[in-house]
Amino acid sequence: MTTSTDLDPPRPLELSPALSCFPTRTPTLLPATHTNSYALGSRDVLLVEPATPYEDERREWLAWARGLQSQGRNLVGIFLTHHHVDHTGGADFFAAELGLPKWAHPITASLLQPGASRGTATASIDRELLDGETIILDGPEAESWAVLHTPGHAPGHLCLFNGSTGDLVCGDMVASIGTIIIEPVDGDMMLYIEQLQRLLDLNASRALPAHGAAINDPSRFFAHYIAHRLKRELKVLDALHAVGDSGGVAKDLVPHAYDDTPEALWHLAELSVQTHLIKLEQDGRATRDGERYFRLPGGSP
Ligand SMILES: [Zn+2]
């Protein structure tokens, strides 16, 4: 976890002639304060992460998008990596203003229905994208982006990978500022670690996260994330052994498993412990009675 903040990021940030980044202020998890939107493509342009719900920021975002149009570029759609409110807060608004369709995974589409998910935005999705599809953006040289379904942080999470440039739009799979929460309602720790490994195996040259700066050594970054999660898993298992035969609920295990984390963050840590416990049960290293988890003999740390 980094402790610096991103209070005033430069924008737009031209990462390459066919890739622009535009961070906007969002209701996100501190120390991050912004979500990066990206414009992919040199002529056809796909806008990624219609994030901001704030009026002043929406005006700036629209001016950026219209600026691309005024360069003769052709906006083709708005892409949502997943349903969380700090990624979707402007989706319907921007789509209506620009007359663009919204693209997302079918699970994200269902979670954005009114009343489907607590504390999130609502939006209607026009084009549902599945793992293995390819998005072709036309231009002087056509650019193709592979659609990857990467559940774990959110069940409908999508990434986009350009095999020619090595650029990977990675949403909330990792962040270069702050931390990624894997919590029991939307998250699945086993899937998350599997999908991080899948992203690592792409050997991308650059990862473009939703929070923080572009990551220039993504495979090492993903490996670090996987190692960090597995190390934490061992601490949760160790905590489970420390409470002995009486077992414990997630909250009981936090002081041991997160003894390196400020107590002010333990309410978030409890959510992560919960998803680690679910994974340990899936792995056959812990068992459960209601909310209470117990060590298993073969599950020693
Ligand atoms: Zn998220």
Q: How far is the CA of 224 from the centre of ligand 1 (A)?
A: 19
Q: How far is the CA of 298 from the centre of ligand 1 (A)?
A: 34
* Predicted local distance difference test score (pLDDT) of residue 119: 64
* Model pLDDT for residues 72-100, shown as the tens digit of each residue: 999 999 999 999 999 999 999 999 999 99
Q: How far apart are CA 130 and CA 172, in angstroms?
A: 18
* Predicted local distance difference test score (pLDDT) of residue 93: 96
Q: How far is the CA of 154 from the centre of ligand 1 (A)?
A: 7
* Predicted local distance difference test score (pLDDT) of residue 5: 53
Q: How far is the CA of 236 from the centre of ligand 1 (A)?
A: 23
E-state strands within 30-151:
34-40, 44-48, 74-79, 102-104, 127-128, 134-137, 143-149
Q: How far is the CA of 139 from the centre of ligand 1 (A)?
A: 31
Q: How far is the CA of 210 from the centre of ligand 1 (A)?
A: 9
Q: How far is the CA of 121 from the centre of ligand 1 (A)?
A: 12
Amino acid at 284: G
CA distances from 260 to 214, 227, 256, 269, 274 (A): 27, 16, 9, 11, 18
The helix, strand and coil proportions of the chain, stated in percent and rounded to the nearest 5, come to 35, 25, 40
Q: How far is the CA of 177 from the centre of ligand 1 (A)?
A: 13
* Predicted local distance difference test score (pLDDT) of residue 50: 96
Q: How far is the CA of 143 from the centre of ligand 1 (A)?
A: 27
Given the structure tokens 């997630």, which residue do they identify? 250
Q: How far apart are CA 130 and CA 120, in angstroms?
A: 22
**Which regions in the chain score pLDDT beneath 50?**
1-4
* Predicted local distance difference test score (pLDDT) of residue 2: 38
SS3 state of residue 88 = helix
Q: How far apart are CA 244 and CA 236, in angstroms?
A: 13
Domains and CATH numbers, the chain: 13-216 (3.60.15.10), 228-299 (1.10.10.10)
Residues near 87 by beta carbon (within 8 Å), at least 6 away in sequence? 26, 35, 49, 50, 51, 80, 81, 171, 172, 210
Q: How far is the CA of 40 from the centre of ligand 1 (A)?
A: 20
